[in-house]
Chain A
């Protein structure tokens, strides 16, 4: 049971990933599918950030710092890149949803499968 308290950020990552996967598999509305992908990307970003924590460390900057025990700076840089790529992917997915609605006037993933000639 102490593993549940000590590893609480990793358990939260697993819960968010399960919620994102459940939404992506079972929902039929297209906007809800995009939301499920976004929740899964948030779970991965949280995992990257929580891998680089050192107990008792401060923010990794030397301006008015209180010591030299800091958290690791490299996972924070990788998470910045991942967030920006998530924004780009969400923008392109929502553009495709707008185009599907414009051509077939449906927002259901099952009904908009026929490609009209």
Chain B
């Protein structure tokens, strides 16, 4: 538990970090970014909260079974979309040309269009859930395991 200046600034800065992480995740198929990069930015907000408030107070809000469920849902979403195109081959992009995420741009520089990409855009969200829950749970477990003996249980 750090001093009051650190705690107040953490309360002010954390929403901005979370919104920036969501922006990097959602725009993965249009510009630079994607699931892994945005997931790392999102998990750094959890690291900031753990460092400023201590692992005792954070443990009551971020429970470990919830993080396990979120990580499994993300991994199953990613693998399930890979099985979706099994008519032709594994990992086939079956959403190109369909009304959901199916615009096909022509070759060369284009304007921005978020409804492109096919099956890449939902896969970004699945991978981001996996990375956020995994990194947050690893940091929480290590912070809980390295407390000193004088702290209360």
Contact = CB atoms under 8 A, between A and B. Distances in A.
A63 B110 contact: yes
Contacts of A59: 32
Contact of B32 (A61, A66, A67, A102): A61
Contacts of A83: 36
Contact of B109 (A62, A84, A87): A62
B142 A95 contact: yes
B: interface residue count bin: 10 to 19
Contacts of B131: 84
Interface residues of A, number: 18
B105 interface: yes
B41 interface: no
Nearest to A67: B109
A98 interface: yes
Given A61-B32, A63-B30, A63-B31, A91 B138 contact: yes
B24 to A, nearest CB: 13
A87 B47 CA distance: 15
Contact of A65 (B32, B109, B138, B146): B109
B136 to A, nearest CB: 12
Given A62-B105, A91-B138, A98 B32 contact: no
B66 interface: no
Contact of A64 (B36, B111, B138, B146): B111
A68 interface: yes
Interface string B25-63: 000001110001100000000000000000000000000
B43 to A, nearest CB: 10
A18 interface: no
Contacts of B110: 62-63
A95 B146 CA distance: 10
A62 B145 CA distance: 47
Interface in A55-83: 59, 61-68, 80, 83
Interface of A: 59, 61-68, 80, 83-84, 87, 91, 94-95, 98, 102
5 pairs of A and B residues whose beta carbons are closest in the complex: A65-B109, A63-B112, A91-B138, A63-B31, A98-B145
Interface of B: 30-32, 36-37, 105, 108-112, 131, 135, 138, 142, 145-146
